[in-house]
A and B are shown apart, each in its own frame.
Chain A
């Protein structure tokens, strides 16, 4: 059993109360940071940078560096936004994190806000997580009564309030800059940086957007130190734990907190209870719908940002979606494309026009109307996705490109047989 940090106090069917959280040492990091006269808020930035904390929302950007891009003389109010939109298919860790310990997130948010001197913190949460949103509102109230949120925290000069903002459902709202437009009550099209949100974000004021899991790590880094955080990982360059959302053809789908860099095979076999009876591992998406398929040759790969990047893949959100030998990957990829084509905000041409085009070709291949020349056509269209406005379209192209690279045989079998081999019953 590996050390549990973020999910350590997970209770069945209920959240950890404020009292329980305090007994486990909760809010100590916040207390110490705000009452220690010799401690400068900017030290939080340094600590997170040294600890190697990378954003857990998909892009793996170093949190400390992002904080440092808020200029010292930047205007106020400044904002800290917690991204709890979590609409990436396969990803549900943020829901579990909130429902395990809302105060862990609240403490992380106040500390992050303190690090950049932000006085307004906003939780942007998807509508499907109403239970989590209600739990947060209730616990924010309790934290306010206890003096962890509000004015002059711990008799310091620092004020910070937390607001819960409910979205009405669109995947693009989770993209950092589109989220800011959504908060301003505009159509959630992405913005093109620079200026980056940390310089000109919400209402053109400095805004730091951070994922739920990233923020939950912060109190622990402060409380236990940089070296401790680094040694939690089992990969060379990784740091901390990672909460993996495992789903698909395994016996025990769910959230598992494991060291950064744990092997994929270990996650599936030792934690997710192995493959379903009668199922063999064929492929896995390691970080949600906008990451590449990992073929069987990657079964023992280390689930770490750098390790996967060096091998040409992405860890994304750590949403491990497992596909078995009976699942048609052409049809699965077409399903993913339905999601992307439907959720594209439509603002820029490559994404709006290109994704339905790719979907159409995949559907034809699946239906037995595929031609060999479709493959270079799809590849070319995928390469056009890099001309789009934000990271949505390149993310959408990732599963398609990896399908063509690692499962070309399966695609070709559709074209040669003039139909889906899984439907004709040729695979068993």
Chain B
């Protein structure tokens, strides 16, 4: 369950905006952060808080790329697969390397629940291709060694 303090703080914020719907993306992201993914319970909670039906929330939750309706790891690695990253030399090998390093394929989560791998559309860092985003942080100029380093650092951080 969401903490009462969050709920009351959010109610205050919702009262200030003209229409609570304006904040639906913020609320979905915040509730998701609490639950780790956008579970059915998270969805119901968001619906109640916003005074929207769960169907309306579902329609939005399944629309956005960074609302996860299935369980994900603590660190979600979004790997850009759009044209500029794709045509970098060694891109194919890099993708294979990440999969092997984590022991999972695209769309999967490591058994320890730490990492998920998801394909992503151009993340706007084509000057630093290939680029990835982990949770809210973007990393550019990714090569296998750099990727290993990032993964190891995150493993320590857990």
Q: When A90-B83, A248-B87 are in contact, do A187 and B63 touch as well, CB less than 8 Å?
A: yes
Nearest-CB residue, chain A, relative to B23:
A185
Q: Is B64 in contact with A253, judged by CB distance below 8 angstroms? A: no
Q: Does A135 contact B (CB under 8 A)?
A: no
Chain A proximity of B37: nearest CB distance (Å): 14
Q: Is A335 in contact with B122, judged by CB distance below 8 angstroms? A: no
- Chain A: interface residue count, which band? 35 or more
Q: Does A186 contact B (CB under 8 A)?
A: yes
A170 to B120, CA, bound (A): 10
Q: When A323-B87, A332-B87 are in contact, do A86 and B124 touch as well, CB less than 8 Å?
A: yes
Task: Please report the number of residue pairs spanning A and B whose Cβ atoms sit closer than 8 angstroms.
Answer: 122
Q: Does B123 contact A (CB under 8 A)?
A: yes
Select the stretch in A47-55, A124-132, A413-421 that faces chain B: A124-132
Q: Does B8 contact A (CB under 8 A)?
A: no
Q: Is A168 in contact with B25, judged by CB distance below 8 angstroms? A: yes
- Chain B: interface residue count, which band? 35 or more
A249 to B89, CA, bound (A): 9
A interface footprint on B57-69 (CB within 8 Å = 1, 0 otherwise): 0011001111100
Q: Is B19 in contact with A168, judged by CB distance below 8 angstroms? A: no
Q: Is A335 in contact with B19, judged by CB distance below 8 angstroms? A: no
Q: When A90-B126, A168-B25, A247-B126 are in contact, do A339 and B121 touch as well, CB less than 8 Å?
A: yes
Q: Does A144 contact B (CB under 8 A)?
A: no
Q: Is A339 in contact with B122, judged by CB distance below 8 angstroms? A: yes
A129 to B133, CA, bound (A): 10
Q: Is B66 in contact with A327, judged by CB distance below 8 angstroms? A: no
Q: Is B63 in contact with A128, judged by CB distance below 8 angstroms? A: no
Q: Is B121 in contact with A343, judged by CB distance below 8 angstroms? A: yes
Chain B 1-60 interface residues, beta-carbon cutoff 8 Å to A? 18-26, 28-29, 50, 52, 59-60
Q: Does B129 contact A (CB under 8 A)?
A: yes
Chain B proximity of A161: nearest CB distance (Å): 12
Q: Is B19 in contact with A185, judged by CB distance below 8 angstroms? A: yes
Chain B 78-95 interface residues, beta-carbon cutoff 8 Å to A? 81-84, 86-87
Chain B proximity of A290: nearest CB distance (Å): 12
Q: Does A71 contact B (CB under 8 A)?
A: no
Q: Which residues of A contact B25 (CB under 8 A)?
A: 165-168, 182, 185
Nearest-CB residue, chain B, relative to A171:
B121
Q: Which residues of A contact B67 (CB under 8 A)?
A: 168
Chain A proximity of B60: nearest CB distance (Å): 6
Q: Which residues of A contact B83 (CB under 8 A)?
A: 89-90, 289, 321, 332, 335-336, 339
Q: Is B24 in contact with A185, judged by CB distance below 8 angstroms? A: yes
Q: Is B60 in contact with A187, judged by CB distance below 8 angstroms? A: yes
Q: Is A253 in contact with B121, judged by CB distance below 8 angstroms? A: no
A290 to B24, CA, bound (A): 30
Q: Does A254 contact B (CB under 8 A)?
A: yes
Q: Which residues of B contact A338 (CB under 8 A)?
A: 81
Chain A 234-258 interface residues, beta-carbon cutoff 8 Å to B? 245-249, 253-255
Nearest-CB residue, chain A, relative to B87:
A327
Nearest-CB residue, chain A, relative to B67:
A168
Q: Is B21 in contact with A87, judged by CB distance below 8 angstroms? A: no
**Besides A245-B126, A248-B87, 13 new A-B residue pairs in contact (Cβ under 8 A), listed by A number:** A87-B122, A90-B122, A92-B124, A92-B127, A128-B125, A185-B19, A185-B22, A185-B25, A187-B63, A289-B83, A327-B87, A332-B86, A336-B83
Interface residues in chain B, defined as those with a beta carbon under 8 Å from any beta carbon in chain A: 18-26, 28-29, 50, 52, 59-60, 63-67, 81-84, 86-87, 121-127, 129, 133, 136-138
Interface residues in chain A, defined as those with a beta carbon under 8 Å from any beta carbon in chain B: 86-92, 95, 126-131, 165-171, 182-188, 203, 245-249, 253-255, 289, 319, 321, 323, 327, 332, 335-336, 338-339, 342-343, 345
